[in-house]
């Protein structure tokens, strides 16, 4: 969490006596969500989780603020602001000392386009920002848009190849000038030594740990801890909601019921006219019974089917595609409540929905990216795969499509997703894939396996892997890549590592 703006001595008139406090604008690391906060100074350890009673302060998403009213001067000599929200509600009026209002207004200018619409009345239009941090490789549009420098690095391969081209042309110029570096350059791409640093997985983060860190605003630290050790089953439901930005959903219940009613309310005649939905529902019906067939009971299968059908209504461009039931079932396991499960699934899908697009471009970009990473971590393996006509990496398809769902069991999988959600680098799934290959390299390479055998090795891994070993190895690769002085810029960009 980052504090972007702070102003002290701001009074709020509660029920009886005015309370003095501080307002601030904060930004959350994970979601980049920004909030407008008022907290009483005297209250000390205030909590947001307990509600919004005056004595514990209040907070509001910046997205929700639509207007403010600034009367000329009130009788106490203090000046005050009334902030109006999109849904028509107003926040308690905030009374400022000298210059306070001006400071708040200028802070607002960083986030809003402000228009005066009446005497002392201002309308706020949020300046468009990139939405939730969607993983770069799933992003479909490679066109540059107005964005921060960091955001540009987060972009997909379209930009990437431009960057690479720029970089390699620089290198070539460099080379032309210096005969020594030319010799070096001709040595080929840099590669990491195969000896990996030892990483031992940390202990699980439990519910209390998670809450304590969140309350203290130590988001980065807690993510790091989760990345290294994973979450306990008890901590996961709350933690995943936070990590996926569940809070940003307004009226989740109402919205969920509206979506659900749209398919539940169809009459038989209407359904006749909904060919696409009907086909999707029939695909869903086929897949829910064979998603985790030995494990799910009739009621769970029913829930799975309802969740996926509701998602079809919510995301009509994707609808239902095979593989989605594998993801949904993991989330249903964690959330007994249908509404929670649905929105967590929707948030999760937001990050990976590129995988399910018709063009399969996102998946192809991931193959390409994995190849680049592997060329650095284990060039010998890439050369081997090329010789076996497997350098396209297609055999990793199920890993990427459903994020290792079938590699692990329903018990061990969530830890992989914990790490993926909390990873300090971007596209950590590439390192997980590289780690699996790293652990299986002897088996694959000693036997001189061809494409078919490699595919078979990969397919047979299902449920027979030690996920902690894989995660430790993936972490180890990250350590090695971060420390190495020869890490190619393209890989730093891919993983969003700074220098």
Ligand X SMILES: Nc1nc2c(ncn2[C@@H]2O[C@H](COP(=O)(O)OP(=O)(O)O)[C@@H](O)[C@H]2O)c(=O)[nH]1
Binding positions for other proteins, rule: CB under 8 A: 279, 283, 286-287, 289-294, 321-323, 325-326, 356-360, 363, 392, 394-395, 397-398, 401-402, 406, 451-452, 455-456, 459
Alpha helices by DSSP H, 193-337? 207-215, 219-229, 236-244, 252-264, 268-272, 275-288, 298-314, 324-334
- Closer CB to other proteins, 209 or 292, in the complex: 292
- Residue 435 φ then ψ, to 5°: -65, -40
Pick one of other proteins, ligand X, none as the site partner of residue 431 (Cβ within 5 to 8 A by kind): none
H or E element at residue 75: none
Q: By C-alpha distance, which of 192, 200, 191 is closest to 473?
A: 200
In angstroms, what is the minimal distance from the CB of 346 to other proteins?
21
Given 290, 294, 358, 460, the residue binding ligand X (CB under 6 A): 290
Alpha helices by DSSP H, 56-203? 100-109, 149-153, 157-177, 179-186
Give me 429's structure tokens: 């799934």
How, if at all, do strands 18-27 and 34-40 pair?
antiparallel
Give the other-Cβ count within 10 Å of 48's Cβ: 16
- Closer CB to ligand X, 289 or 484, in the complex: 289
H or E element at residue 445: helix 441-446
In angstroms, what is the minimal distance from the CB of 285 to ligand X?
10
Pick one of other proteins, ligand X, none as the site partner of residue 325 (Cβ within 5 to 8 A by kind): other proteins
- Closer CB to other proteins, 344 or 401, in the complex: 401
Pick one of ligand X, other proteins, none as the site partner of residue 475 (Cβ within 5 to 8 A by kind): none
Is there binding between residue 294 and ligand X (CB under 6 A)? Answer: no
In angstroms, what is the minimal distance from the CB of 209 to other proteins?
35
In angstroms, what is the minimal distance from the CB of 394 to other proteins?
5
Are the C-beta atoms of 382 and 306 separated by less than 8 Å?
no
Give the other-Cβ count within 10 Å of 273's Cβ: 9
Task: Provide, for the chain, the percentages of residues in helix, strand and coil under a 3-state DSSP scheme, each rounded to the nearest 5.
Answer: 50, 15, 35
3-state DSSP assignment of residue 4 = strand
Pick one of other proteins, ligand X, none as the site partner of residue 177 (Cβ within 5 to 8 A by kind): none
- Closer CB to other proteins, 233 or 463, in the complex: 463
Letters for 249-288 (x = contact with ligand X by CB under 6 A, - = none) are ----------------------------------------
State the residue for tokens 């695909």. Answer: 283
Pick one of ligand X, other proteins, none as the site partner of residue 451 (Cβ within 5 to 8 A by kind): other proteins
H or E element at residue 44: none
- Closer CB to other proteins, 22 or 392, in the complex: 392
- Closer CB to ligand X, 301 or 373, in the complex: 301
Are the C-beta atoms of 352 and 403 separated by less than 8 Å?
yes
User: Applying CB under 6 A, what is the total number of residues that bind ligand X?
Assistant: 2
- Closer CB to ligand X, 301 or 481, in the complex: 301
Q: Could you list the residues that contact ligand X (CB under 6 A)?
A: 289-290
């Amino acid at each position: 969490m980052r504090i972007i703006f702070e102003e002290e001595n701001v009074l709020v008139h509660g029920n009886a006596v005015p309370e003095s406090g501080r307002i601030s604008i904060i930004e959350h690391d994970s979601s980049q969500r920004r909030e407008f906060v008022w907290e009483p100074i005297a209250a000390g350890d205030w909590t947001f989780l307990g509600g919004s009673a005056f004595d514990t302060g209040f907070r509001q998403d910046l997205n929700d603020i639509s207007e403010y009213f600034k009367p000329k001067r009130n009788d106490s000599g203090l000046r005050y602001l009334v902030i109006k929200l999109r849904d028509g509600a107003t926040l308690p009026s905030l009374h400022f000392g000298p210059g306070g209002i001006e400071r708040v207004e200028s802070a607002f200018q960083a986030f809003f386009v402000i228009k005066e619409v009446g005497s002392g009345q201002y309308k706020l239009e949020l300046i468009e920002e990139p939405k939730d941090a969607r993983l770069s490789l799933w992003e479909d549009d490679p066109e540059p848009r107005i964005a921060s420098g960091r955001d540009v690095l987060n972009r997909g391969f379209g930009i990437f190849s431009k960057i690479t081209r720029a970089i390699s042309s620089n290198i070539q110029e460099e080379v032309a000038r210096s005969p020594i570096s030319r010799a070096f350059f001709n040595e080929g791409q840099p590669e990491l030594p195969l000896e990996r640093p030892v990483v031992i997985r940390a202990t699980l983060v439990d519910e209390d740990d998670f809450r304590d860190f969140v309350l203290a605003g130590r988001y980065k630290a807690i993510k790091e801890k989760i990345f290294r050790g994973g979450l306990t089953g008890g901590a996961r439901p709350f933690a995943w909601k936070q990590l996926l930005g569940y809070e940003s959903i307004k009226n989740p219940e109402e919205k969920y019921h509206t979506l659900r009613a749209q398919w539940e309310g169809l009459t038989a005649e209407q359904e006749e006219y909904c060919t696409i939905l009907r086909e999707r529902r029939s695909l869903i019906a086929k897949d829910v019974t064979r998603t985790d067939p030995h494990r799910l009971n009739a009621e769970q299968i029913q829930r799975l089917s309802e969740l996926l059908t509701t998602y079809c209504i919510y995301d009509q461009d994707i609808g239902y595609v095979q593989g989605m039931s594998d993801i949904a079932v993991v989330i249903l396991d964690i959330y007994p409540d249908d509404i929670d499960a649905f929105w967590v699934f929707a948030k999760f899908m937001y990050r990976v929905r590129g995988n399910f697009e018709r063009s399969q471009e996102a998946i192809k970009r991931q193959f390409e990216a994995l190849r680049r990473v592997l060329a650095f971590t284990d060039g010998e393996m890439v050369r081997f795969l090329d010789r076996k006509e497997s350098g396209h990496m297609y055999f990793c398809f199920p890993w990427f499509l459903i994020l290792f769902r079938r590699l692990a069991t329903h018990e061990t999988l969530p830890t992989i997703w914990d790490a993926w959600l909390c990873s300090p680098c971007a596209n950590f799934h590439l390192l997980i894939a590289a780690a699996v290959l790293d652990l299986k390299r002897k088996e694959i390479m000693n036997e001189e396996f061809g494409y078919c055998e490699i595919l078979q090795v990969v397919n047979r891994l299902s449920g027979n892997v030690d996920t902690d070993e894989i995660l430790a190895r993936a972490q180890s690769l990250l350590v090695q890549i971060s420390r190495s002085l020869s890490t190619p810029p393209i890989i730093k960009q891919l993983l969003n590592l700074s220098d």
